[in-house]
């Protein structure tokens, strides 16, 4: 998988991708990361990449020419035009924008089927809309809030897609059991010691009964999702036994374990 990132601040990616999963994937040759400074494609004396918006208003708008020149240095211009004209995407050109579709686990899975992704990081008030009209195939947002630019969102997309590549994570069960991987939040996790400051690990996790452990984990994932993200339940993959379990939980008022999860998923 190759990632090409168009940004005004390529240095932002160095510290984040100098560590952890993406770094290991880069070192192993499982992914490639290419950073492209949009200023390099602004051919005026001062390498200006933004200008005042037509119609007035506050802020600045990123210019169409440097972004399009950067894209056309990476991809054939005819390919870019054909993708927009036909809707048949060979190489996604992704704009990170608050106006985009909400990025999700399913989106990461879909993007992971491509061999190459191009990500455009907006800044200021946004980019000239003609970049979208001419080239962009996907507009993505991390959520209903605004960041100063698209770089952090691009990092999130890159990591989410990278960790789904076979072999990047040592244990593929981690992907299957992740929050959102099956439409549910993940169950609570525990490790040694078995008791800490009066709080004990749920006894079924110490029972050695794998069926009991699996049932408890599934129950907790269902309850946690129902309590914290009920909106996810409508699209969750629920079996008949899951529905029966939810009915039993509702009848018994089984509480969800309220311990912090290690790591963001």
Which positions are annotated as active-site residues?
Answer: 98, 125, 163, 178
Percent helix / strand / coil, the chain, rounded to 5: 40, 15, 40
Decide the pairing of beta strands 138-141 and 93-102: parallel
Burial 218-235 (b: 16+ CB within 10 A, else e): bbbbbbbbbeeeeeeeee
Residue 261 CB partners (closer than 8 Å, separation 6+): 186, 188, 189
In 107-231, beta strands by DSSP E: 116-121, 138-141, 195-196, 199-200
- Phi, psi for 118 (deg, rounded to 5): -115, 125
DSSP letter for 127, please: B
């Amino acid at each position: 998988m190759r990632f090409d990132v168009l940004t005004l601040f390529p240095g932002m990616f160095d510290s984040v991708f100098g560590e952890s999963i993406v770094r290991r994937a880069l070192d192993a040759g499982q992914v490639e990361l290419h950073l492209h400074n949009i200023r390099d494609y602004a051919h005026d004396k001062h390498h200006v990449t933004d200008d005042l918006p037509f119609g007035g208003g506050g802020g600045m708008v990123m210019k169409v020419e440097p972004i399009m020149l950067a894209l056309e240095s990476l991809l054939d211009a005819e390919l870019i035009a054909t993708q927009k004209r036909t809707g048949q995407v060979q190489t996604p050109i992704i704009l990170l924008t608050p106006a985009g579709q909400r990025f999700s686990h399913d989106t990461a899975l879909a993007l992971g089927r491509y061999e190459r992704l191009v990500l455009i990081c907006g800044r200021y008030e946004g980019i000239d809309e003609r970049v979208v009209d001419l080239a962009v195939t996907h507009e993505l947002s991390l959520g209903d809030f605004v960041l100063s630019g698209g770089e952090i969102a691009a990092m999130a997309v890159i990591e989410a897609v990278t960790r789904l590549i076979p072999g990047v994570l040592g244990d593929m069960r981690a992907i299957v059991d992740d929050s959102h991987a099956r439409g549910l939040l993940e169950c609570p996790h525990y490790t040694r010691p078995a008791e800490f400051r009066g709080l004990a690990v749920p006894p079924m996790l110490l029972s050695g009964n794998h069926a009991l452990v699996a049932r408890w984990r599934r129950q907790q994932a269902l309850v946690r999702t129902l309590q914290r993200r009920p909106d996810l339940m409508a699209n969750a993959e629920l079996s008949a036994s899951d529905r029966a379990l939810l009915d039993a939980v509702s009848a018994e008022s089984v509480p969800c374990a309220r311990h912090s999860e290690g790591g963001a998923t």
